[in-house]
Amino acid sequence: MRTIIGVILVGLFIFGGTSRSEDYYYYNGSERVDLTVSPTSVTVRLDYSQFTSFSSLFASDEALDSSVEPFKLADSLVRLAVLPGYDIDSLVDRLIVQPGVEDACQSFIDPDGVEIYLTSRLCVIFNPTTTREMIDMVISQLDLTLIDSLFKDYRFQLLRARSHPLVGVFSIANAIFESGLASVSEPSIIPHMRLLSDPNDEYWEYQWHFKNTGQFGGTPDADIDLELTRLYYMPTTPILVAVLDDGFEPHEDFPAGRIANGYDYMEWNDDESPDSLDAHGMAVTGIIGAMTNNGSGLASFSDYNVRLLHQRIAYQGMCPDWGVMALAMDDAVDSGAVVICACYGDYYGSCRHNGFLDEALDRA
């Protein structure tokens, strides 16, 4: 056991505690993730008892871009923007000696092009064969602090390496994993949020519900914050969304692969195209799953990774009957729909439910 701990310490002696390296990486599970240094920012850890102001810090180094607001990442960690053309390693060395700067390190770019930032925390799942005594020795010898054991299991450890340089967290996490003591050992990384730029769809400017700039006299930002909602959930594989409405017409915003075979419960056939001018179903379907950034039609909430199953349940200006509504929901569930959108009714609550429909809702 002491031999294994010694190997970890040797690894840290060789690779850890430095502000620069040509080989930045960490393990995501067992997969090695190679990183590059971001040319656009650095991460600093501030001691607010000594720190005076960001204006003083910006004035201390011409490489810092004072036009970009410092971004608080976590705890006392802050992202600072860097002007083009400056050497990041040299900037890190200069920042470390600034008053109130406890530590500084590079920001990094992962293989997906996302800028990521280091914290002083590590996420470790020790192997079942790694005893509690061995875990305690690793924590002690590497001068780590236990934040918490997760899932009431001492093998699931959230650790802090506050006494080490930020960039040294890579070396600590990698050394623990490469020792064979843990199945997971990785730094607790903060990825940068990649917010949407405005899409180029033809009618985007009219979609104030997605982005309200006051373009029609309304209140700016009285919208659904589309760019933020996508950060909370974006499926990696297509999900099936059933749209129960008044019909659907083919359109270039909906490529063939995005549309599943729907049904017309008004005409009892598989042609769900509406024969009215209401086109409410088209509008709803567009908001959910129209192709975005194609220069045509609408922008949508999901943009991609969605398939649309359209169930025509009503004519223009009419409520669906309970049986049809329940049947459509039941069929949507049987078809594998993960989400069911049923946007029908009026301001007066005319389209009420009954027990039969409530049963369908419970199943759905």
In the structure encoding, which two tokens stand for residue 21, read together? 């390296």
**Would you call 158 exposed, middle or buried from its count of C-beta atoms within 10 A (0-12, 13-18, 19+)?**
middle
- What's 264's domain CATH number? 3.40.50.200
Range of 87's domain?
36-109
The 10s digit of each residue's pLDDT in 161-216 is: 877 888 889 999 999 999 999 988 888 888 775 555 677 778 778 888 778 888 88
pLDDT at 147: 86
Q: Do 177 and 93 lie in a common domain?
A: no
User: Where a domain ends, among 109, 144, 169?
Assistant: 109
DSSP 16: S
Q: Do 9 and 126 lie in a common domain?
A: yes
Beta strands in the chain (DSSP E): 25-28, 31-34, 36-46, 71-74, 77-81, 101-109, 115-126, 145-149, 156-160, 182-191, 239-245, 259-264, 306-312, 339-341
Q: Do 298 and 210 lie in a common domain?
A: yes
Is the residue at 26 inside a domain? no
Q: Do 122 and 140 lie in a common domain?
A: yes
pTM strictly above 0.85: no
Is the residue at 30 inside a domain? no
| Contact status, residue 306 vs residue 241, Cβ threshold 8 Å | yes
User: Where a domain ends, among 109, 132, 151?
Assistant: 109
CA–CA dist 156, 110 (Å, integer): 25
- What's 42's domain CATH number? 3.30.70
Q: Which residues of 344-356 are buried (b: 16+ CB within 10 A; e: fewer)?
A: beeeeeebeeeee
The 10s digit of each residue's pLDDT in 19-59 is: 444 589 999 878 899 999 999 999 999 998 999 999 999 99
CA–CA dist 291, 301 (Å, integer): 10
CA–CA dist 296, 243 (Å, integer): 21
User: Where a domain ends, among 141, 158, 191?
Assistant: 191
Q: How many domains does the chain have?
A: 3
